[in-house]
Amino acid sequence: MKLRNSVLSVGALGASLALVLGSPAFADTVGDGSPDAPAASAATQLPNGGLAVKDFQILGPLDQNSHVSARDNGQSVFYGGKSYWFFDDTIETDPDAFLTSTAAVTSDLTAADNIQLHSTTFASEADTGAPTEFVPLSTAETDFQNEHASTDCTGSTDPNCGTVFGFWPGAAVADPAHHRILVFYGKLCRGGLDTGPCASGFIGQQLGSGIVSVDMRTKVATRLTIENRDTSITSPEGVDPTLLFSPSEEWGNGGAVVVGHDLYAYGGCDDNHACGVARVPLDRVQDRAAWSFYTGTSNGRPQWSPDETKAVIVMQGGAAGETVQYDQTTHLYMNTFEETLSDQVQFQTSPTPWGPWGTPTDLFTAQKSTAWNYAAFAHPEYTTDHGLTRYYTYYSSATGAQMLVRVHFTQKKH
């Protein structure tokens, strides 16, 4: 489970989206190539586009694969008439297994009677065996694990004894122009000696982040090789050419949204999970040199810099991430999140991906638990009633369940 740059471990499971539904392309650009915000309508000038919570119902655990006893995170993205879901640490039974990344696909787009997520992978609904790892290991990582594998590291002089790698999926976005879904992920090493570089502590050591490209024609997931990568980012097995950002940056591991031909990714968060925003052309996501970072405004115009240290905080992020989406009902961008150690899930809106973001508004309250609730995400593909009925999930670490929540809204038009 990922809480930005800190982690928690709860019970058996130790414990970051984005979806575009007709997100608009900005029509104009300014001198630095920054897109202008679209003109505000009467609805967008109202707080939250006039949207207000009427009531909510916690519907209960998602209808998941029968082998799954617990899995956290759980962000989704709509592509080709189906909903694709990506999870972090997953505990399975019959056979027993602990996986760090799993996925599922469903054509069940009606959430009122729960959501069926029975598939083994993202590739086929027909395959309902035990889920398998979503993020693939490299040959170098597999060789490293095999070299340092041991059933008992007591007294070992190998500082990497027992080390394994893990991958936590974060935000996912659809990129149909390139026939793919892009899924951000964080890489960590865990299971090593307490005195070693991969000491488990709560859950492991974060190493950096990258992007998985899921080819929707072949249903093959590949970790993108990074161009102009930061050579200071290291990994125990040696050079990892797939690491795009360092653990302190993690742009996209919380939320991301596509606008026209650009991807906006949130990261560079502070200790309170307040985050900045970066952007990159969709066709250059793997090129570190193509990324730029929002630094504020000048004469009312957004400013972007290739230097991530100049990025400014723009919005509140959540424990294990947030969902950022363009909302067709309000014609605003919407951020859904749950702060650390809080049962209150909130949302805020903005006319552009970079802000200004409004004051957070209460969305629903998760059920009190003997442990932590976190990883609250929106699933816009399940929205009905012209945007007035929406569905969300959060993770209950006490039970290992993904809890499904329905929220009814009202909307003022003027």
d(CA 199, CA 197): 6
Torsion of CA 24, 30, 34, 35, to 10 degrees: -10
pLDDT at position 57 is: 98
6 pLDDT tier (thresholds 50, 70, 90): very low
Joined together, the tokens standing for residue 367 give 């059920």
The DSSP code sequence of 83-106 is EEEEEEEEEETTTTEEES-EEEEE
d(CA 300, CA 152): 61
Strand partners for 18: 324
Joined together, the tokens standing for residue 334 give 């919407």
Residue for token digits 């996912």?
A: 172
**Segment 170-197, tens digit of pLDDT:** 999 999 999 999 999 999 999 888 888 8
C-alpha dist (Å) from residue 75 to 69, 172, 273: 18, 7, 18
Contact 84, 181 (CB under 8 A): yes
- In this prediction, residues 196-222 reach a mean pLDDT of 91
pLDDT at position 25 is: 52
Q: Is the pLDDT of residue 27 over 70?
A: no
pLDDT at position 20 is: 34
Number of other CB atoms surrounding residue 95 within 10 Å:
7
Torsion of CA 226, 186, 75, 202, to 10 degrees: 180
Torsion of CA 97, 100, 101, 104, to 10 degrees: 30
402 pLDDT tier (thresholds 50, 70, 90): very high
Joined together, the tokens standing for residue 125 give 């609904």
**Segment 368-385, tens digit of pLDDT:** 877 889 999 999 999 999
Contact 347, 334 (CB under 8 A): yes
What is the pairing mode between strands 102-106 and 82-92? antiparallel
Enter the pTM of the model: 0.91
Q: 47 preceded by cis ω (within 30°)?
A: no
Q: Which positions ≥6 away from 309 have C-beta within 8 Å?
A: none
Q: Is the pLDDT of residue 405 over 50?
A: yes
DSSP SS3 for 287: strand
Number of other CB atoms surrounding residue 243 within 10 Å:
22
Residue for token digits 């590739």?
A: 123
d(CA 267, CA 255): 8
C-alpha 85: how far from its chain's center?
10
Residue for token digits 């915000």?
A: 37
- In this prediction, residues 398-410 reach a mean pLDDT of 96
Q: Is the pLDDT of residue 5 over 80?
A: no
37 vs 268, more confident: 268
Please give the DSSP secondary-structure letter assigned to residue 29. B
Strand partners for 55: 408
Please give the DSSP secondary-structure letter assigned to residue 245. B
pLDDT at position 299 is: 93
pLDDT at position 368 is: 85
Q: Which positions ≥6 away from 250 have C-beta within 8 Å?
A: 4, 5, 170, 186, 209, 267, 268, 269
pLDDT at position 250 is: 86
13 vs 145, more confident: 145
Joined together, the tokens standing for residue 129 give 């065996």
Report which secondary-structure segment, H or E, holds 144.
helix 139-147
Mean of the per-residue pLDDT values for the chain?
89
**Segment 60-88, tens digit of pLDDT:** 999 999 999 999 999 999 999 999 999 99
Q: Which positions ≥6 away from 221 have C-beta within 8 Å?
A: 122, 134, 135, 136, 183, 212, 213, 214, 215
C-alpha dist (Å) from residue 196 to 140, 152, 168, 188: 19, 15, 22, 14
pLDDT at position 30 is: 35
pLDDT at position 1 is: 45
332 pLDDT tier (thresholds 50, 70, 90): very high
Weakest mean pLDDT among 29-43, 52-66, 109-123: 29-43
Q: Which positions ≥6 away from 209 have C-beta within 8 Å?
A: 170, 184, 185, 186, 187, 243, 244, 245, 247, 249, 250, 251, 252, 253
- In this prediction, residues 18-28 reach a mean pLDDT of 43
Angle formed at CA 322 by CA 320 and CA 326, multiple of 5 degrees: 165
- In this prediction, residues 201-228 reach a mean pLDDT of 94
d(CA 403, CA 394): 5
